A = this chain, B = another copy of it.
Amino acid sequence: MAKKIKPEDEVSTEEKIKEAARTVFMKKGFSATRTRDIAEEAGINLALLNYYFRSKEKLFELVMMEKFQAFFGVIFPILNDPSTSLEQKVELIADRYITLLTETPDLPIFILSEIRTNAERMVASVHLDKILVDSQFVKQLHQRRPDMHPVQLIMSILGLVVFPFLMRPLLMQAGNADTKMFTAMMNDRKQWIPKWFDSMLKVK
């Protein structure tokens, strides 16, 4: 307590802008966002945004890197953990992603939308190729089921976990689900996705 100079609730202007940027960029994407929106959301003046972050692009990149990290940071450590089995990896991915995305459901559509315009730059910072090719996951899968392509398996798990969050706005608007029901459905998935893959992963 004595160490703190500022009280908990006193947030720096810089952080206020960053937080506002997270909110607005996530909701509308880069192109549809105006710096004025961010300034208003932050409760500060437009000029301050440029004072702290130089430009809309620089501020965006900051947010993007953060979100990118949040999204892919979940899966990489799991895939590379030598102490877990294939089955446990599947279970962990399902569990961690559904937990993360239940908190921030807009994350996948944000990432995927912005990748569309910016695939080159984004990819440079992930190294999907390196990370996948010599991961524990790939080795384990090759040993167990050399006939299965690791990318196919990853895409299947992520498809089952992430895709519902991409359809969420449509489902909820159409009256097929409310927040509570959607969350319940996703928690169901935490249970049966691992079971589903268990039978798939059995040695032929």
Contacts and interface: CB of A to CB of B under 8 A. Distances in A.
B188 A115 contact: no
Nearest to A161: B159
A109 to B, nearest CB: 5
Given A27-B116, A29-B113, A109-B113, 10 more contacts: A112-B112, A112-B113, A119-B169, A122-B170, A123-B170, A126-B174, A129-B176, A149-B185, A158-B163, A196-B200
A176 B135 CA distance: 14
Main SS at interface, chain A? helix
Most buried by B among A31, A106, A163, A169: A163
Contacts of A65: none
Copies of this chain, count: 2
Given A109-B113, A116-B169, A155 B164 contact: yes
Interface residues of A, number: 51
Interface string A192-204: 0000100110000
Contacts of A176: 128-129, 132, 151
Given A129-B174, A149-B185, A188-B152, A117 B28 contact: yes
Nearest to A193: B156
Interface string A154-191: 01101111111011011111111100000001001100
Given A152-B188, A171-B151, A116 B126 contact: no
